[in-house]
């Protein structure tokens, strides 16, 4: 499953909770300005509390931040990561 996550999370055998989190993480990463109350409904539908959603947002935001910092200073990728696009 880890290999599928690295290539494309949509191909991984995720349960409903993890799939909802992955979908939300992708949307928050790619279109944070478009996030609204309706985006939280799938997370609540799989049993996440507001506190758990808040925690998820914090983790997603942190990874987005640290990846942008690493990209900005051209940190070398880990050996098992796909190469950077030029």
CATH number at residue 50: 1.20.1290.10
Under the banding of pLDDT at 50, 70 and 90, the label for residue 52 is very high
For 44-74, the three-class secondary structure string (H helix, E strand, C coil) is HHCCCCHHHHHHHHHHHHHHHHHHHHHHHCC
In terms of pLDDT, which residue wins out, 40 or 85? 40
- Other residues' Cβ atoms within 10 Å of the Cβ of residue 36: 8
Whole-structure pTM value: 0.81
Q: CA-to-CA distance for 48 and 8, rounded, in angstroms?
A: 24
pLDDT in tens, 2-41: 677 777 888 889 999 999 999 999 999 999 999 999 999 9
Rounded mean pLDDT of 70-83?
Answer: 78
In terms of pLDDT, which residue wins out, 71 or 24? 24
The answer to whether residue 49 sits within a structural domain is yes
- Residue range of the domain that includes 68: 14-72
Indicate the number of domains in the chain. 1
């Amino acid at each position: 499953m880890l290999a599928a996550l690295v290539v494309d999370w949509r191909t991984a055998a995720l349960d409903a909770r993890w799939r909802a989190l992955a979908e939300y993480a992708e949307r928050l990463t790619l279109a944070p300005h478009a996030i609204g109350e309706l985006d939280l409904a799938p997370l609540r539908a799989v049993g996440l509390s507001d506190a758990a959603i808040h925690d998820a947002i914090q983790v997603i935001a942190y990874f987005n931040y640290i990846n942008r910092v690493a990209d900005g200073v051209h940190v070398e990728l880990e050996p098992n990561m796909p190469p950077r696009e030029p």
